[in-house]
Amino acid sequence: MKNFEYIKANTIEEAITLLDKYKEKAKIFAGGTDILVQMKQRKITPEYLIDIKGISELEYIERNDRGLKIGPLTTHASISNSSVIQEKFGLLVDAALAIHAVQIQNRGTIGGNICNASPSADTAPPLLALGAELKLASKAEERTVMLEDFFTDSFKTVLKETEMLTEIRVPNLPLHSGGSYLWLPKIAAVDETLVGVAVVMTLDSSGKVCSDVKIGLGSVAPTPIRAKKAEEFLKGKRIEDGLFAQAGQIASNEAIPRSRAEYRSKMVKIYVERALNQALRRIS
């Protein structure tokens, strides 16, 4: 690594002040499971590393009348073990468990997973399917951004150099809804998802018609994406044999993988169909 100055921030205000002072010369350090690797590889070379891991007000899971709120320092292990999330937002548990390395589950944070903006980030497709939004804060302002507008390219986001993520918000699911996250692991030295598919489906009062659905895809485009054409195809359709396979094919055509394209596209078709079926089974 290149030499850098380590600074420990004890409050959100202190962290934001440091970001405002050092701007592009500084990077936020939380779990460190992504940034330290990138620093060792010299992909990024910050002059200042701002450690926010000790800011307890950024680590929480809360639910109120409007939905779920998650602090960005919440670890993947905390998410998978949370009874609040297990009860209504099970696909987030699925995503946390997709990160196989126990050390990363215990150290890595959901905020870091999002802000790193890897195309294969496991938490991104479920949060896209759940309609999540992000609260971003700087010294000048606070703003809210929908997650689907957050990613701009591989490892790039709309996050300004003086901003930090302070909260992830997920709205409550409508009645008669179910969710699923399925992933195909990449067999390599680094634990990575080759294809990730998240689904949140809502049925009408009869329980036979798809009234709404959101499908998030990971690792099959420069950024995590929504399969919006497949979603539109499903909305208003009666659930019957062959429907989910057709939706999977449409989603496959929306994917734009940069490598192993034919295989990844074929797997999108299969995994979208499987995820839709699992989401349907989870509707209560």
pLDDT tens by residue, 106-150: 888 999 999 999 999 999 999 999 999 999 999 999 999 999 999
Mapped onto helix, strand or coil, the DSSP state of residue 46 is coil
Looking at the structure, tell me whether residues 167 and 182 fall in a common domain.
no
The upper half-sphere exposure of residue 20, i.e. CA atoms within 13 Å in the direction of its Cβ, equals 11
Looking at the structure, tell me whether residues 21 and 100 fall in a common domain.
no
Structural domain that includes position 143: 59-171
Looking at the structure, tell me whether residues 152 and 72 fall in a common domain.
yes
pLDDT band at 152 (very low <50, low <70, confident <90, very high): very high
Q: What is the CATH classification number for the domain harbouring 46? A: 3.30.43.10
Cβ neighbors of 31 (< 8 A, separation 6 or more) are: 53, 75, 104, 107, 108, 109, 112
Q: How far is CA 74 from CA 43, 70, 121, 169, in A?
A: 26, 7, 16, 13
Provide the pLDDT for residue 195: 96
Looking at the structure, tell me whether residues 218 and 243 fall in a common domain.
yes
Provide the pLDDT for residue 190: 55
Per-residue pLDDT of 221-279, as tens digits, reads: 999 999 999 999 999 999 999 999 999 999 999 999 988 999 999 999 999 999 999 99
* Boundary (domain end) residue, out of 125, 145, 171: 171
Cα 273 to Cα 197: distance, rounded to the nearest angstrom? 10
pLDDT at residue 167 above 60? yes
Which two three-digit tokens encode residue 42? 């010299």
pLDDT at residue 43 above 70? yes
Is the separation of the CB atoms in 139 and 16 below 8 Å?
A: yes
Per-residue pLDDT of 173-216, as tens digits, reads: 999 999 999 999 876 545 679 999 999 999 999 999 999 999 99
Looking at the structure, tell me whether residues 163 and 187 fall in a common domain.
no
Provide the pLDDT for residue 106: 85
Looking at the structure, tell me whether residues 139 and 203 fall in a common domain.
no
Looking at the structure, tell me whether residues 46 and 112 fall in a common domain.
no
Is the separation of the CB atoms in 214 and 129 below 8 Å?
A: yes
Which run of H or of E encompasses 278?
helix 261-281
pLDDT at residue 99 above 90? no
Provide the pLDDT for residue 70: 98
Looking at the structure, tell me whether residues 183 and 232 fall in a common domain.
yes
Verdict on whether the full-model pTM lies above 0.85: yes
Looking at the structure, tell me whether residues 127 and 216 fall in a common domain.
no
Is the separation of the CB atoms in 233 and 206 below 8 Å?
A: no
Looking at the structure, tell me whether residues 220 and 235 fall in a common domain.
yes
Closest C-alpha to 80, from 55, 106, 62: 106
Residue in this structure with the two tokens 């307890």, named with its chain if needed? 56
Closest C-alpha to 9, from 44, 22, 1: 22
* Boundary (domain end) residue, out of 115, 147, 171: 171
Question: What's the whole-number mean pLDDT along residues 70-74?
Answer: 97
CA 165 to chain centroid, in Å, comes to 13
Q: What is the CATH classification number for the domain harbouring 100? A: 3.30.465.10
pLDDT at residue 34 above 90? no
Cβ neighbors of 149 (< 8 A, separation 6 or more) are: 158
* Boundary (domain end) residue, out of 155, 171, 187: 171
Looking at the structure, tell me whether residues 216 and 119 fall in a common domain.
no
Provide the pLDDT for residue 284: 80
* Total count of domains within the chain: 3
Cα 279 to Cα 284: distance, rounded to the nearest angstrom? 10
Which residue(s) pair with 134 in the sheet? 145, 168
Looking at the structure, tell me whether residues 159 and 248 fall in a common domain.
no
Q: What is the CATH classification number for the domain harbouring 246? A: 3.30.390.50
